[in-house]
Amino acid sequence: MKIEKTPFGKLADGTPVDLFTLWNAELRVKIMNYGGTVVSLMAPDKEGKLKDVVLGFDSLSDYLSDAYRQESPFFGAIIGRFGNRIAGGKFSLNGNDYTLATNDGPNHLHGGEKGFDKVLWQAEEVYEEEGLGLRLSYVSEDGEEGYPGRLRVEVTYMLTNKNELQITYRAETDKATIVNLTHHSYFNLAGDAKKDILDHELMLPADTFIPVNASMIPTGELQPVGGTPFDFRTPEAIAPKMKADNKQLTYAKGFDHCFVLNGKPKELKLAASVFEPDSRRLLEVYTSEPGVQFYTGNNLTGALTGKEGRKYLPHSGLCLETQHFPDAPNQPAFPSAELWPGEQYQSRTIFKFSVK
Ligand code: BGC
């Protein structure tokens, strides 16, 4: 078990960025303080062979390039202040109307033009009995990206002795605001440059999901998954489900939907499990959040070439973004994403790796 800190290049204004490598007996995770981004995650297969199971790049410049900005995949980053979409970039809170950047067609996505994925976090190494980690802090000033309130945010990545990457989020504000933090790794458990994620077997313990309109904004309804391609309550390969004739899959060009997790909100519960049959790698996701956005990387275009010369195409990776529901600030029936002064935002997600 150890942490190694190395320079990872410089931002346009010359500010240095650090890369932290966290090791335990089986896993190796690399996280940079720019965007709190998981750059690499090496996990063993059935023969103990380590392979990188997340999409990303070997150098900082690739995360800063114009091509990356244009594609905006948010590889491995911390997403905030509000993960997912807000309709028209508008919401009202405490008698005030707020306007945010519309950076995804007519809507606001993942915190705006310069969200938490594009800021430099202060990093502190953490050594505890359960494992080792990195505590990242950032203060988002009142009005940043149009959001109200000075928000103090702390995100801790822990690599535990149980082969988990545990992410704990905390935030406090001095004015009523909205918060929905998540993590945006694209997993590919094959760890093989040539394979997509369509043969991965997925299980999502969700009886309902959130249908969207053509601009990917929730209709407000929670639709039962039974009899639809959205029923992943028992493990199933992704590919056959993607072929179904379904308006929701057409809108999103695949899966890009929030699933409503069974079980109690705020309690840690299973959010997903993903199994890759060749390598036999298994990823289980647990969360205290009410939902998980399952995204099959539909908007990757092939314009970006990542680690090992791998071209990132649609379905090169999949995201399991634990979160409150999209557009929650405009959907009174959804669990509230408001944070008020004196309250503490707290959220936890665990990515657990094993072989089966
Ligand atoms: C969204 C996708 C989007 C992707 C990258 C995901 O969280 O749901 O629609 O294309 O992030 O921006």
| pLDDT value for 333 | 97
Q: Is the pLDDT of residue 80 over 90?
A: yes
CA–CA distance, 18 with 9 (Å, rounded to integer): 7
Residue 338: pLDDT band with limits 50, 70, 90? very high
| pLDDT value for 192 | 85
Q: What are 229's two structure tokens?
A: 């391609």
> What count of other Cβ atoms lies within 10 Å of the Cβ of residue 56?
26
Residue 265: pLDDT band with limits 50, 70, 90? confident
Q: Is the pLDDT of residue 110 over 80?
A: yes
| Distance in Å, CA 121 to ligand 1 centroid | 22
CA–CA distance, 216 with 233 (Å, rounded to integer): 23
Q: Which one-letter amino acid corresponds to residue 125? A: E
CA–CA distance, 76 with 99 (Å, rounded to integer): 27
Q: Is the pLDDT of residue 324 over 90?
A: yes
| Distance in Å, CA 295 to ligand 1 centroid | 7
| Ligand 1 pocket mutation, candidates 110, 181, 215, 324, criterion most atoms within 8 A of CB | 110
| Distance in Å, CA 74 to ligand 1 centroid | 8
% the chain with pLDDT above 90: 98
Across 148-165, average pLDDT: 98
CA-closest residue to ligand 1 atom 12? 73
Q: List residues with catalytic annotation.
A: 184, 321
pLDDT digits over 166-184, tens only? 999 999 999 999 999 999 9
The fold adopted by the segment(s) 2-355 is Beta-galactosidase; Chain A, domain 5 (2.70.98)
Radius of gyration over alpha carbons of the chain, in Å? 19
Across 210-234, average pLDDT: 98
Across 17-45, average pLDDT: 97
Q: Closest Cα to residue 84, out of 348, 319, 268, 249?
A: 319
Which atom of ligand 1 is nearest the CA belonging to 321?
Answer: 7
> What count of other Cβ atoms lies within 10 Å of the Cβ of residue 129?
6
| Ligand 1 pocket mutation, candidates 108, 109, 296, criterion most atoms within 8 A of CB | 109
> What count of other Cβ atoms lies within 10 Å of the Cβ of residue 128?
11
Q: Is the pLDDT of residue 185 over 90?
A: yes
Residue 160: pLDDT band with limits 50, 70, 90? very high
| pLDDT value for 142 | 98
Across 6-15, average pLDDT: 98
| Ligand 1 pocket mutation, candidates 295, 296, 318, 327, criterion most atoms within 8 A of CB | 295
Residue 194: pLDDT band with limits 50, 70, 90? confident
Q: Closest Cα to residue 349, out of 294, 291, 289, 293?
A: 289
Q: What are 140's two structure tokens?
A: 């988002």
CA-closest residue to ligand 1 atom 7? 84
Put simply, whether the predicted model's pTM sits higher than 0.95 gets the answer yes
Residue list, ligand 1 pocket, CB within 6 Å: 72-74, 256, 293, 295, 299, 319, 321
Residue 193: pLDDT band with limits 50, 70, 90? confident
Residue 116: pLDDT band with limits 50, 70, 90? very high
| Distance in Å, CA 73 to ligand 1 centroid | 7
Q: What is the mean pLDDT of the chain?
A: 97
